[in-house]
Amino acid sequence: MPSDGDRLLRRAIRYGGGWTVTLAVVALLGAGAELLLPAVLGLAVDAALGETDRWWPLVACALVVVIVATDTLSNLATGTGTARATARLRHQLLRHLLALDPRAAARHPVGDLIGRLVGQAADAGQAGATVVLGLTALLPSLGSVVALALLDWRLAATFVAGLLVLAAGLRTFLTDASAAAAGYLGAQGRIAGRLAEALHGARTIAAAGTAGVELDRILAPLPELGRHGTRTWAALARASARTAAIAPLLQLAVVAVGGWSVAQGRLTPGQLFAAMQYAALGAGLGAVVATLNRLIRTRAGAQRLATVLTEPVLAYGTATLPPGPGALVLAGVTVRADDGRPVLDAVDLRVPPGATVAVVGPSGAGKSTLAAVAGRLRDPDAGEVLLDGVPLGQLRRDVLRRAVGYGFERPVLIGDTIADTIVLGAAGPGEPGAAGAGEPSTAGPGEPCAAGPRTGEPTEQLADAARAAAIHDFVERLPDGYATRLVDAPMSGGEAQRLGLARALLADRLLILDDATSSLDTATEHRITRAVTTHRDRRTRLVVTHRAATAAAADLVAWLDAGRLRGVGRHRELWQDPAYQAIFQPEPAPDGSAGATAPDGSAGATAPDGSAGEPAEAVR
């Protein structure tokens, strides 16, 4: 059975498209010309001796021109086909990585993934050229056997005996070099992964003064890398040495047998010259060794790409959302860690449409996991999640991502301009999922959410989201407003968090905030909390928080403890339980005192408009 890497190699060959076919045609034509040249040169020698037609030297010149032309075209087809296949592989790998369950992607260090994307994709992209050139590199040896057999079977028998000795050495080279190449790329990937981790934590390393220790950790696989590299070059050196030693002896043997045939009158001097050329052409296996080395590296690169590409991605359905206000239901949701430990254990939660539900609990209770499951950043191991009655797994990707918005503690900002960053993934008014369930968009007909971002004039929808996230004034002070390039906008951690929050606020039905105000000052956090808990658009909100004030401002609180839903109700009701109060207690002071109790917000857990909100309840 072919491995996943071998199947990927076959696809990479197809990715070269017409250039791979062109290379095959040109390479075959060039190999044919090289095989004809010795015979034509032999006839040219006989012509010089007056034994044949005098036009053969001109034919030899024509063959030389063909060889030069095909070599030039081969280089063009090789480079272009390889570039095309490499680009396809990189796009395929990148799309797959972005479609993976975040847990699966996190198992691969960033540096290792970059190595696969940049290095191994380029290696695998050479598959078409390597296979074509490898096959055509064998043609001179095979053609030389046929040509020598046509001249004298004794010459062919002598030549084949020498080729068998060379082939035995090449088989050993293939085995040793393949294992060495795989080990080398693996060690290289581990070094790259550790380097990326260290660069991400450079400030922590500098503050701790552990640069030397970190350097040792990063370079720990270096001896292994050296062993595999040495093994690769040693295998290549042995194969080259065998070829260099046996090839001249093989040519001498052919010359000796050919000279005896001339003495016996079976060959002409020109045919002896041709036999010598065929022996040199067929025994010159240096190109074969080099091509085999490229094929080994190409195959190793494809195997490393296939390891990632075979990991299952999140599958999406074809369903759309019916008209609805964003009712969220978690029914029997269980999520397990990689070691089988339950992170969420049979959680049943019904979030009323338009309500703001705060998710609280001690560290490790499963709050972020619940937030991830609620918007299908990961799938539960058991149970299901429904939005307006539709299981999330049945929804189209674009419908789901436009219906659900996420605000994170440390958002990653993506886009060319500030406007691009905010409207990332948002739908225009004419697109599926836009504005939710037939609700009107503030953008004009046919305009996207951020119409005219290059002019710095945001649409009303974008500006409203930015104001709610308390980032509008900051953007307005930038030289080009919302058209300012992201790389030219210096931002603090809090400003980046607010920009990510503005992006989340464009969601149609469900807003999920996972500790999304942790980097903000108290005044700004209070302002944003009021905006988030405002029910002007009746959008459902799920807010992971450690703040009692945020929990008090929410309509309802879902209290998680050790992965289980311990209680659902209003903050002032849950506050009667000392265990609930303990969630919001600060860490004990060094002198052992407990510190002040966080405000419980017992003045009323009502919605900002004064309504009590519809209570959530556990699904029975």
Q: Is residue 462 part of a domain?
A: yes
Same domain, 349 and 287: no
pLDDT score of 596: 41
495 and 578 assigned to the same domain? yes
The answer as to whether 606 is a domain residue is no
DSSP 554-588: SSEEEEEETTEEEEEE-HHHHTTSHHHHHHTPPPP
Domain, as residue range, for 577: 340-583
Q: What is the pLDDT of residue 430?
A: 35
pLDDT at 85 (0 to 100): 92
Q: Supply the DSSP symbol for 117.
A: I
> Which residues have a Cβ under 8 Å from the Cβ of 362 and sit 6 or more positions away?
561, 582, 583
Q: What is residue 504's predicted lDDT score, i.e. its pLDDT?
A: 80
Asked if 427 and 530 sit in the same domain, the reply is yes
Q: Are residues 458 and 359 in the same domain?
A: yes
Looking at residue 519, which CATH number applies to its domain?
3.40.50.300
pLDDT tens for each residue of 562-603:
889 888 899 888 888 888 888 887 655 444 544 444 444 443
Residue 592 counted as domain residue: no
From 286, 309, 332, give the residue that closes a domain.
Answer: 309
- The answer to whether residue 327 sits within a structural domain is no
- Rounded distance between C-alpha atoms, residue 297 and residue 303, angstroms: 10
Indicate the residue among 287, 309, 331 that finishes a domain. 309
pLDDT, averaged in runs of 10, over the chain (620 residues):
79 89 90 83 75 76 89 90 92 88 78 85 89 81 78 79 71 74 82 81 77 85 86 77 72 79 78 76 66 82 88 86 87 86 89 88 87 88 90 89 82 80 58 34 36 54 80 83 82 79 82 71 63 63 85 88 89 89 69 46 37 36
Identify whether residues 305 and 346 lie together within a single domain. Answer: no
Max Cα separation, the chain?
118
List Cα–Cα distances, 550 to 33, 467, 476, 524, in angstroms: 81, 19, 28, 13
499 shares a domain with 455: yes
- The confidence score (pLDDT) of residue 106 equals 76
| Distance in angstroms (rounded) separating the CA atoms of residues 186 and 120 | 11
Give the DSSP letter string of 350-379: EEPTT-EEEEE-STTSSHHHHHHHHTTSS-
**299 and 440 co-located in one domain:** no
Kindly state whether residues 140 and 234 are assigned to the same domain. Answer: yes
- Calculate the alpha carbon distances from 366 to 209, 345, 361, 519, 564 in Å: 34, 9, 8, 21, 8
Q: Residues 280, 364: one domain? A: no
* Res 90: pLDDT: 92
In a domain, 318, yes or no: no
Give domain status of residue 595, yes or no.
no
Query: Is residue 324, in this structure, part of any structural domain at all?
Result: no
Same domain, 457 and 575: yes
Last residue of a domain, one of 261, 291, 309: 309
Q: Which of 548, 544, 542, 537 is CA-nearest to residue 596?
A: 548
**DSSP letter string, 297-312:** HHHHHHHHHHHHHTSP
Distance CA 10, CA 17 (A): 12
pLDDT digit string, tens, across residues 255-297: 788 788 778 778 777 777 777 777 776 666 556 667 777 888 8
Q: Phi, psi (5° rounding) for residue 412? A: -95, 120
Residue 236's CATH number: 1.20.1560.10
94 touches 117 (CB < 8 A): yes
At 321 the three-state DSSP class reads coil
Is 547 contained in some domain?
A: yes
Q: Give the pLDDT confidence of 37-95 residue by residue, as tens digits.
A: 888 887 787 777 766 667 878 888 888 899 899 889 988 998 999 999 999 999 999 88
User: Does residue 450 share a domain with residue 562?
Assistant: yes
Same domain, 359 and 217: no
Number of domains in the chain: 2
